[in-house]
């Protein structure tokens, strides 16, 4: 089991962490949870006007200060660190089920860091990743399923992924696995009956053909679920889009134009982009991860070599490859062979013309449908639509809505099951595995499947769930 889940420290201590992602938004929240939360509030918070006792779920405006005698060198004792809204959430009516306080400040990241430091000076321990959720779970505020869904939500790149996490929570995948298990269970019951009551029911043996048929149907079902893995990955991690093309084909300009911001240094000198630059693009609730690759060409300058290797990596993982053609140039010296670059067979390749604003009539690639200009914005809409189509956006949404997306753990388990089914089919077909062997392996297999449907407890799951959290959740 991963160390992330071994419980450090006793649960008598109080933990604190920044609850909002660093560097984003105007409000930074410091969350403190544990038996000493209210003491810490008293130590670091000066309400305006002063107030007697904290009331659960009622926010108070005030200042955060260093607790008495703990101001580090360079800080005035008693000097305000930030103006905050302090929100006490008393046990059990908090996320963790413990006494919790939330300090919401407007002073930005640095001020929030100081607020956290003040809480730690007052006796809180900096929380580990997922520790708040773990406490919530241990205090019965969250079930394990919910904890896993929370983990997925935390990681959700976009709205669709968040919806999937919720659908998952409602049991989409669980239902699929149960449907997969049902005929195997029925087979197991008949095998056991045949084995245990042979004397009473002499004719009860299960025919090999029937065993094989049931196993094959299950394997097909596992394959169907496994086929959802790439779709699942697209929803969870975004559709991987690579911009490829010869140097100075306008990859970075198009990249910036799609994102609507200057993320990549653009230079007219070929080979400016020395590494892969990636940024998420949101389209209709889906995430597309755009990768701008180094200019790909045969004779790369040495300094660029690293960037080109990395480019090949992202190309290998790509769902969509945009092959850019400079429409302003006459003829096309070197055809870009994406297959030679190691693109997967599943990848959709779209040809995209660039610099259509300065295109020459005699330019090559007149057959290209998507003709764009980063400068004027021409053709970008068509490109976006082409991206949605290439990513099979409809299917992504359907699968997501059904809540049957697989994560790494699910995929691993299913692949295990598939392998077991395959070797069992082979053994039964060859006449090797008798009823009792099939029954024993089937029972073990169902046990393994149960780890996905949640019927069977697995500690690995526990470790995986909580190790996926970031600090503050």
Question: Given the rule CB under 8 A, which residues bind other proteins?
Answer: 5-7, 10-12, 35, 91-92, 96-98, 134-135, 137-141, 143-145, 192, 195-200, 416, 420, 423, 427, 430-437, 439-441, 443-445, 447-448, 451, 454-462
CB of 189 to other proteins, least distance (A): 9
Residue at token pair 């939500």: 153
| Nearest C-alpha neighbor of 97 from the set 51, 147, 52 | 147
CB of 156 to other proteins, least distance (A): 22
CB of 57 to other proteins, least distance (A): 15
The CB density around residue 75, as the number of other CB atoms within 10 Å, is 15
Pick between residue 100 and residue 253 the one whose CB is nearest to other proteins: 100
Pick between residue 80 and residue 450 the one whose CB is nearest to other proteins: 450
Please tell me the number of Cα atoms within 13 Å of 53 on its side-chain side. Answer: 3
CB of 7 to other proteins, least distance (A): 5
CB of 444 to other proteins, least distance (A): 4
| Nearest C-alpha neighbor of 449 from the set 143, 174, 149 | 174
Interatomic CA distance for residues 142 and 258, integer angstroms? 40
CB of 453 to other proteins, least distance (A): 10
- Check if the beta carbon of residue 354 is closer than 8 Å to that of residue 325: yes
CB of 35 to other proteins, least distance (A): 7
Pick between residue 218 and residue 228 the one whose CB is nearest to other proteins: 218
- Check if the beta carbon of residue 32 is closer than 8 Å to that of residue 119: yes
Interatomic CA distance for residues 100 and 30, integer angstroms? 10
Pick between residue 339 and residue 457 the one whose CB is nearest to other proteins: 457
CB of 192 to other proteins, least distance (A): 5
Interatomic CA distance for residues 298 and 362, integer angstroms? 26
Beta bridge partners of residue 29, listed in sequence order: 104
Pick between residue 97 and residue 107 the one whose CB is nearest to other proteins: 97
| Nearest C-alpha neighbor of 353 from the set 362, 361, 365, 345 | 365
Interatomic CA distance for residues 263 and 278, integer angstroms? 9
Helix axes 159-169, 144-155, angle to 10 degrees: 170
Structure tokens at 258: 């799609």
Interatomic CA distance for residues 272 and 173, integer angstroms? 46
Pick between residue 181 and residue 292 the one whose CB is nearest to other proteins: 181
Pick between residue 102 and residue 304 the one whose CB is nearest to other proteins: 102
CB of 293 to other proteins, least distance (A): 41
Q: Is the peptide bond before 163 cis (omega within 30 degrees of 0)?
A: no
DSSP state at residue 62? E
CB of 39 to other proteins, least distance (A): 15
Interatomic CA distance for residues 250 and 355, integer angstroms? 7
Helix (H) or strand (E) holding 226: helix 208-226
- Check if the beta carbon of residue 29 is closer than 8 Å to that of residue 19: yes
The CA distances from residue 306 to 237, 273, 452, in Å, are 24, 11, 40
- Per-residue b or e along 350-389, where b marks 16 or more CB atoms closer than 10 Å to that residue's CB: bbbbbbbbebeeebbbeebebbbbbeeeebbeebeebbbe
Pick between residue 141 and residue 355 the one whose CB is nearest to other proteins: 141
Pick between residue 82 and residue 98 the one whose CB is nearest to other proteins: 98
Pick between residue 144 and residue 265 the one whose CB is nearest to other proteins: 144
Pick between residue 179 and residue 444 the one whose CB is nearest to other proteins: 444
Dihedral sign, Cα of residue 230, residue 235, residue 238, residue 243: positive
CB of 72 to other proteins, least distance (A): 31
CB of 135 to other proteins, least distance (A): 7
Pick between residue 97 and residue 246 the one whose CB is nearest to other proteins: 97
Please tell me the number of Cα atoms within 13 Å of 401 on its side-chain side. Answer: 7
As to burial, measured by CB atoms within 10 angstroms (0-12 exposed, 13-18 middle, 19+ buried), residue 4 is middle
């Amino acid at each position: 089991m991963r160390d992330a889940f071994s419980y450090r420290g006793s649960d008598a201590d109080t933990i604190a962490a920044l609850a909002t992602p660093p560097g984003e938004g105007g409000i930074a929240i410091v969350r403190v949870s544990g038996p000493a939360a209210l003491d810490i509030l008293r130590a670091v918070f000066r309400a305006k006007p002063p107030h007697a006792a904290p009331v659960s779920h009622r926010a108070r405006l005030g200042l955060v200060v260093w607790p008495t005698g703990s101001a580090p060198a360079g800080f005035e004792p008693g000097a305000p660190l930030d103006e905050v809204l302090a929100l006490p959430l008393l046990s059990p009516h908090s996320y963790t089920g413990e006494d919790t306080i939330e300090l919401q400040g407007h002073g930005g990241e640095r001020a929030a860091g100081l607020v956290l430091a003040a809480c730690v000076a007052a006796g809180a321990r900096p929380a580990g990743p997922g520790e708040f959720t773990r406490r919530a779970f241990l205090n019965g505020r969250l079930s394990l399923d919910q904890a896993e869904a929370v983990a997925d939500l935390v990681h959700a790149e976009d709205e669709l992924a968040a919806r999937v996490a919720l659908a998952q929570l409602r049991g989409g995948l669980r239902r699929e696995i149960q449907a997969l298990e049902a005929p195997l269970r029925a087979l197991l019951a008949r095998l056991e009956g045949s084995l245990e009551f042979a004397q009473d029911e002499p004719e009860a043996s299960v025919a090999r053909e029937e065993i094989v048929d049931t196993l094959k149907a299950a394997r097909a079902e596992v394959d169907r679920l496994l086929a959802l893995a790439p779709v699942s990955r697209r929803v969870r991690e975004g559709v991987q889009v690579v911009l490829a093309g010869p140097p100075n084909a306008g990859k970075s300009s198009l990249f910036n134009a799609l994102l609507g911001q200057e993320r990549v240094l653009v230079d007219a000198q070929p080979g400016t982009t020395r590494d892969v630059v990636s940024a998420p693009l949101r389209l209709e609730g889906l995430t597309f991860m755009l990768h701008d690759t180094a200019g790909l060409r045969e004779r790369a300058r040495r300094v660029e070599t690293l960037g080109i290797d990395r480019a090949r990596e992202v190309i290998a993982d790509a769902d969509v490859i945009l092959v850019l053609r400079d429409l302003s140039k006459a003829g096309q010296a070197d055809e870009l062979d994406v297959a030679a670059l190691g693109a997967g067979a599943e990848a959709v390749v779209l040809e995209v013309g660039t610099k259509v604003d300065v295109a020459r009539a005699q330019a090559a690639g007149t057959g290209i449908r998507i003709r764009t200009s980063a400068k004027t914005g021409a053709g970008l809409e068509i490109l976006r639509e082409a991206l949605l189509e290439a990513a099979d956006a409809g299917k992504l949404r359907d699968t997501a809505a059904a809540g049957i997306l697989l994560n790494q753990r699910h995929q691993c388990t299913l692949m295990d099951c598939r392998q077991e089914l395959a070797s069992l089919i082979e053994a039964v077909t060859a006449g090797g595995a008798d009823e009792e062997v099939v029954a024993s392996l089937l029972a073990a297999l169902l046990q393994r499947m149960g780890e996905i449907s949640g019927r069977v407890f697995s500690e690995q799951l526990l470790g995986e769930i909580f190790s996926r959290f970031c600090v503050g959740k």
